[in-house]
């Protein structure tokens, strides 16, 4: 039995991680009193007693929390964006490549990816590595997400009984192109330049879909949607949590439209390759609180503890 402590266990991601852990047969959760959740000495005590510490904190607070851990055996899984492009931290997408699981397993510091980043990287990274999408491709990423990704304050605004009317409609944000997921997307997708990221928050709780257009005449050579789909299916063959979806019948569409929420309450990511031979659309959907955050954190913990990867997630 492993001892696990969640620092920030009363926030959106922390609560979801605790929910996963409560059904996990291999761990014991160290629970801090709500009144002492910000007391550094109490937090320090729990952190140094734990085998695994999850950090579910703002970036600066996560950096400060790392300093509280003096036990060299304690391993950290950080859900913030503070360490995502730090080479001393393993990046928490096990499906990133053939050596990534070993990198996570052997690391004492793992950074959980962002939800937009996870969806974009799963679609783009294999194609860049495979030479299908050039490294200098001007990638544009359109991402639609439920409001839970904004955290407790945003959730409270959306669920308020007297909320502002502008919350009723989809809202573009991060319009200055400085979204905190951009550096990790560039690094782990293997792009020469930061992509355009156009996130849109909508009036539903959770579920995320990323769309990335590819123009065939801008690729290394012309590829049909089916050729790209076949390449991705081979790349992710055998992966328990990444499915490349067949599109012969487009049976996943509802009256011709795409269901963003179909992966909710799972740790699954589904990839689609749509369009025609000239204009191809990559799409990834996932639960922004599952594979996009807390589920990914539990998946990494299982790998670090060398227990079956799907434990507590299926």
* HEC sequence for the chain: CEEEEEECCCCHHHHHHHHHHHCCCCEEEECCCHHHCCCHHHHHHHHHHCCEEEECCCHHHHHHHHHCCCCCCCEEEECCCCCCCCCCCEECCHHHCCCHHHHHHCCCEEECCCHHHHHHHHHHHHHHHCCCCCCCCCCEEEEEEEHHHHCHHHHHHHCCCCCCHHHHCCEECCCCCCCCCHHHHHHHHCCCCCCEEEEEEECCCCCEEEEEEEEHHHCCCCCCHHHHHHHHHHHCCCCCCEEECCCCCCCCEECCEECCCCCCCCCCEEEEEEECCCEEEEEEEECCCHHHHHHHHHHHHHHHCCCCCCCCCC
Co-location of 264 and 183 in the same domain: yes
The CATH number linked to 47 is 3.40.50.720
The CATH number linked to 156 is 3.30.360.10
Co-location of 257 and 189 in the same domain: yes
* 300 is an active site residue: no
Quote the pLDDT of residue 78: 97
Asked whether residue 48 is domain-assigned, the answer is yes
Q: pLDDT 10s per residue in the chain (314 long)? A: 899 999 998 888 989 999 999 889 889 998 888 888 788 888 999 999 999 999 999 999 999 999 999 999 999 999 999 999 999 999 999 999 999 999 999 999 999 999 999 999 999 999 999 999 999 999 999 999 999 988 888 999 999 988 888 899 999 999 999 999 999 999 999 999 999 999 999 999 999 999 999 999 999 888 899 999 999 999 999 999 999 998 765 667 777 788 999 999 999 999 999 999 999 999 999 999 999 999 999 999 999 999 999 999 98
Quote the pLDDT of residue 34: 81
Asked whether residue 311 is domain-assigned, the answer is no
Considering the candidates 56, 115, 263, 300, report the single residue annotated as catalytic: 115
Co-location of 34 and 171 in the same domain: no
Q: What total of structural domains would you count in the chain? A: 2
Quote the pLDDT of residue 136: 96
Determine the structural domain holding residue 82 and report its residue range: 2-113+292-304
Quote the pLDDT of residue 37: 79
Co-location of 164 and 27 in the same domain: no
Co-location of 298 and 233 in the same domain: no
Co-location of 104 and 181 in the same domain: no
Co-location of 262 and 124 in the same domain: yes
């Amino acid at each position: 039995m492993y001892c696990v402590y969640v620092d920030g266990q009363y926030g959106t991601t922390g609560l979801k991680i605790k929910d996963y852990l409560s059904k996990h047969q291999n761990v014991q959760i160290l629970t801090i009193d709500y009144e002492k959740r910000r007391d550094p000495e109490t937090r320090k005590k729990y952190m140094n007693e734990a085998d695994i510490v999850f950090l579910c904190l703002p970036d600066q607070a996560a950096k400060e929390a790392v300093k509280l851990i003096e036990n060299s055996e304690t391993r950290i899984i950080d859900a913030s964006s503070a360490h995502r492009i730090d080479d001393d931290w393993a990046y928490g997408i096990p499906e990133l490549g053939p050596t990534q699981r070993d990198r996570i397993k052997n690391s004492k510091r793992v950074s959980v990816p962002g939800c937009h980043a996870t969806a974009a990287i799963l679609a783009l990274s294999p194609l860049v590595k495979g030479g299908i999408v050039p490294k200098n491709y001007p990638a544009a990423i359109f991402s639609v997400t439920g409001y839970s990704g904004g955290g407790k304050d945003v959730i409270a605004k959306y669920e308020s009984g007297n909320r502002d009317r502008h919350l009723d409609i989809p809202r573009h944000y991060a319009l200055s192109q400085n979204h905190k997921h951009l550096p990790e997307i560039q690094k782990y997708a293997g792009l020469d330049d930061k992509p355009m990221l156009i996130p849109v928050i909508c009036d539903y709780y959770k579920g995320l879909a990323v769309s990335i257009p590819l123009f065939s005449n801008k690729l290394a050579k012309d590829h049909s949607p089916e050729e790209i789909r076949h390449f991705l299916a081979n790349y992710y063959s055998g992966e328990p949590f990444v499915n490349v979806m067949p599109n012969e019948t487009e049976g996943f569409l509802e009256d011709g439209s795409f269901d963003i929420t179909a992966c909710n309450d799972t740790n699954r990511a589904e990839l689609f390759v749509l369009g025609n031979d000239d204009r191809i659309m990559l799409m990834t959907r996932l639960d922004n609180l599952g594979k996009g955050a807390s589920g990914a954190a539990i998946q990494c913990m299982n790998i670090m503890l060398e227990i079956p990867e799907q434990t507590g997630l299926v």
